[in-house]
Amino acid sequence: MRRKLVAGNWKMNGDSAFVSAFSSAIAPNIQALPEGIDVLIAAPTILLPQLCQEFALTRVLVAAQNVSSYASGAYTGETSAEMLSKAGCDACLVGHSERRALFGDTDEVMLSKVRRLLEVEIQPIFCIGETLEQRDLGQASNVVTSQLALLLDNLSSEALGKIAVAYEPVWAIGTGRTASPEQAQAMHERIRDHVRQKDAELAEKMVLLYGGSVNADNSSELFAQPDIDGGLVGGASLQADNFAQICKSIECR
């Protein structure tokens, strides 16, 4: 049976006081969740050491939002996978639509980032998704499977088994719009079927997340879908009570 995962992405928000207050509020709720459910917070790099310390004795995992595609060297402002590992990170986002659109992360760069993370045993959470224009043109499925092919065509099944994939329709990120449960399930099923073409066992084990304006009101119905194993939560993850409610909503699976 696949593990369930609820990941919060704080984006460029938070400070030391926020981390302390959030961790105190969320930790008891997460400790009470059944086994088989993982909870993760992806935070700005400067907050990661504190988060790792605050959550050290809890079940909450810590993720970075970005990593350098280089191992080390004269790359001012970058943070290497090894640095993240030594800080205590468990996972890292790769390929978020904001990184693709605003910072120009190419396929080559994203693949290098995934490989760097795997080298130090940090779980990549690889984000894929279509724009509204691509969906309206009937291209959503082809766009998403093409993005997924970057991994399937270049990594072994063993490596792929260490990666979680997050489907985030770009038109639903931070907009208040969300794909209907039926739309989200249809794309997750398509993703799993595409993985199955490479490796049937891998397809059944791969954790697939839905992201795109997930909140306490819609999470239960989204997480009830057979191919959705959890969520990548944006704005709602900044509110401890709401995020705890979202995490609890996956218990019904």
The pLDDT of residue 176 is: 77
Structure pTM? 0.96
Report pLDDT digits (tens) over 25-57: 999 999 989 989 999 999 999 999 999 999 998
Q: Tell me which of 3 and 1 has the higher pLDDT.
A: 3
Q: Read out DSSP for the chain?
A: -PPEEEEEE--S---HHHHHHHHHHHHHHHHTSPTTEEEEEEE-GGGHHHHHHHTTTSSEEEEES---SSSSSS-TT---HHHHHHHT--EEEES-HHHHHHH---HHHHHHHHHHHHHTTPEEEEEE---HHHHHTT-HHHHHHHHHHHHHTTS-HHHHTT-EEEE--GGGSSSS----HHHHHHHHHHHHHHHHTT-HHHHHH--EEEESS--TTTHHHHHTSTT--EEEE-GGGGSHHHHHHHHHGGGG-
Q: Which candidate in 54, 96, 98, 130 is catalytic?
A: 96
User: Does residue 168 have an active-site annotation?
Assistant: yes
Report pLDDT digits (tens) over 117-173: 999 999 999 999 999 899 999 999 999 999 999 999 999 999 999 999 999 999 888
User: Does residue 96 have an active-site annotation?
Assistant: yes
Q: Which candidate in 54, 130, 168, 188 is catalytic?
A: 168
- Taken in order of first residue, the domains within the chain and their CATH numbers are 4-252 (3.20.20.70)
